[in-house]
Structure 1
Amino acid sequence: MVGTTTDDADVIVVGAGPAGSSAAFHCASAGLDVLLLEKASFPRDKVCGDGLTPRAVAELVRMGLPLREQDGWIRNRGLRVLGGGHRLELPWPELSSYPSYGLARSRMSLDHTLASHARAAGAKLVERTSVTGPVRDERTGRVVGVTARPVDDAGHRSGDEVVYRAPVVIAADGVSTRLATAAGRTKRDDRPMGVAVRTYFRTPRHDDPWMESHLELWDGEPGRSNLMPGYGWIFSLGDGTANVGLGSVSSTAAATKVDYKSLFAAWMRNAPAEWEFTPDNQVGPVRGAALPMGFNRGPLYAGGLLLAGDSAGMISPFNGEGIAYGLQAGRVAADAIAQGLARGTAAGRERAFGTYQRRMKDDLGGYYTLGRVFVRLIEHPEVMRVCTRYGLPRPLLMKFVLKLLSDCYEPRGGDMVDRVIAGLARIAPAA
Structure 2
Amino acid sequence: MTSETYDVLVVGGGPSGATAAHDLARTGKRVALLDRAGRIKPCGGAIPPRAIRDFAIPDYLLKAKITCADIISPKGKRVPMPVENGYVGMVDRCEFDEWLRVRATEAGADRITGEATALERDPDGTAAIAFEPKEGPARRLRARMVILANGARSDLARQAIPGQAHPKCVFAYHEIVKVPEDVAARGSYEATRCDVIYNGRTSPDFYAWIFPHGDSASIGTGSARKGFSLRGATAEVREQHGLAGFETIRREGAPIPMKPLRRWDNGRDVVLAGDTSGVVAPASGEGIYYAMLGGRLAAEAVQMALATGDAAALKTARKRFMKDHGKVFWILGIMQTFWYRTDWTREHFVKMCEDKDVQRLTWESYMNKELVRKDPLAHIKIFFKDMAHLLGLARA
Taking structure 1 as the reference length, the TM-score comes to 0.77
Cα distance in 2 between the residues matched to 1:258 and 1:270: 19
Name the residue aligned to 2:178: 202
Q: 1:9 offset after TM fit, Å?
A: 1.4
Q: 1:338 aligns with which of 293, 303, 306?
A: 303
The alpha-carbon deviation at position 15 of structure 1 amounts to: 0.7
Count of residues in Structure 1 that have an aligned counterpart in Structure 2:
369
Partner of 1:359: 320
Deviations 1:47-70 (A, max 9, x none): 221222334333432xxx4223xx
**Residue 324 of structure 1, CA deviation:** 0.9
2: CA distance between counterparts of 1:53 and 1:217? Answer: 28
* Aligned residue number for residue 345 of structure 2: 383
Note if contact 1:247-1:320 (Cα within 8 Å) is conserved in structure 2.
no
Q: Greater shift after overlay, 142-151 or 162-171?
A: 142-151
Find the aligned partners of 2:18 and 2:249 in 1 and give their Cα distance: 26
Q: 2:25 aligns with which of 18, 23, 28?
A: 28
- Name the CA distance, whole Å, in 2 between partners of 1:176 and 1:192: 10
Rounded Cα–Cα distance in structure 2 between residues aligned with 1:186 and 1:75: 43
Q: What is aligned with 1:119? A: 105
1:323 and 2:284 equivalent?
A: no
Answering whether residue 149 of structure 2 is matched by residue 159 of structure 1, we say no
- What one-letter code is carried by the residue in structure 2 that aligns with 1:81? I
Match of residue 101, structure 1, among 87, 90, 98 = 87
Question: Structure 1's 228 and 160: CA in aligned 2 closer, same or farther, altered over 3 A?
Answer: same
Q: Calculate the aligned-residue CA RMSD, in Å.
A: 2.8
Deviation at 1:126, TM superposition (A): 0.9
* C-alpha distance in 1 between matches for 2:232 and 2:244: 16
Structure 1 residue 409: Cα displacement = 5.0
Of residues 106, 111, 117 in structure 2, which corresponds to 1:132?
117
Partner in structure 1 of residue 235 of structure 2? 265
Structure 1 residue 263: deviation in Å?
A: 1.7
Which residue identity is paired with 1:321? Answer: E
Which TM-score applies when normalising by structure 2? 0.83
State which of 198, 217, 228 in structure 2 corresponds to 1:215.
Answer: 198
Q: SS where residue 302 of structure 1 aligns?
A: coil
1:300 deviates by 4.1
The equivalent of 1:223 in structure 2 is none
| Structure 2 residue 40 is the aligned partner of structure 1 residue 45 | yes
Quickly say closer, same or farther: Cα 1:245–1:56, change in 2 above 3 A. farther
Query: CA offset at residue 392 of structure 1?
Result: 3.0
Q: 1:66 aligns with which of 58, 64, 68?
A: 58
User: 3-state SS of the aligned residue for 1:199?
Assistant: strand
What amino acid sits opposite 2:267 in the alignment?
Answer: A
Distance in 2, matches of 1:46 and 1:163, equals 26
For residues 321 and 143 of structure 1, the distance between their equivalents in structure 2, rounded to whole angstroms, comes to: 35
Distance 1:309 1:121 in 2: 21
Deviations 1:21-64 (A, max 9, x none): 000011111221110001215xx532221222334333432xxx
Contact 1:192 1:375 in 2 (8 A): no
Q: 1:18 pairs with 15, 23, 44, which one?
A: 15
| Paired letter, 2:359 | M
State the partner residue of 1:97.
Answer: none
The residue matched to 1:386 in structure 2 has which SS?
A: helix
Secondary structure of the corresponding residue to residue 98 of structure 2 = helix
**Match for 1:118: what amino acid?**
A
Please list every run of at least 4 consecutive aligned residues from structure 1 whose deviation after the TM superposition is greater than 6 angstroms.
417-420
Q: Secondary structure at the match of 1:218?
A: coil
How many Å separate the matches in 1 of 2:190 and 2:26? 35
The equivalent residue for 2:51 is: 56
Q: Which residue of 1 aligns with 2:67?
A: 77
Show CA shifts across 1:62-116 (max 9, x none): xxx4223xx564322242323355433334455xxxxx32211211111111100
SS at the partner of 2:207?
strand
Q: Which string of whole-angstrom CA distances, capped at 9 and with x for unpartnered residues, describes residues 177-223 of structure 1?
A: 1311232445547x64212111122224687122222233425xxxx
Matched, 1:312 2:304: no
Structure 2: state its 5+ residue gaps: 381-396
SS in 1 for 2:286: coil
Shift of 1:124: 0.9
Tell me if structure 2 keeps the 8 A contact 1:145–1:168: no
Q: Which residue of 2 aligns with 1:87?
A: 78
For residues 338 and 287 of structure 2, what CA distance do their matches in structure 1 show?
21
**1:387 and 1:74, CA in 2 relative to 1: closer, same or farther beyond 3 A?**
closer
Query: 2: CA distance between counterparts of 1:89 and 1:143?
Result: 55
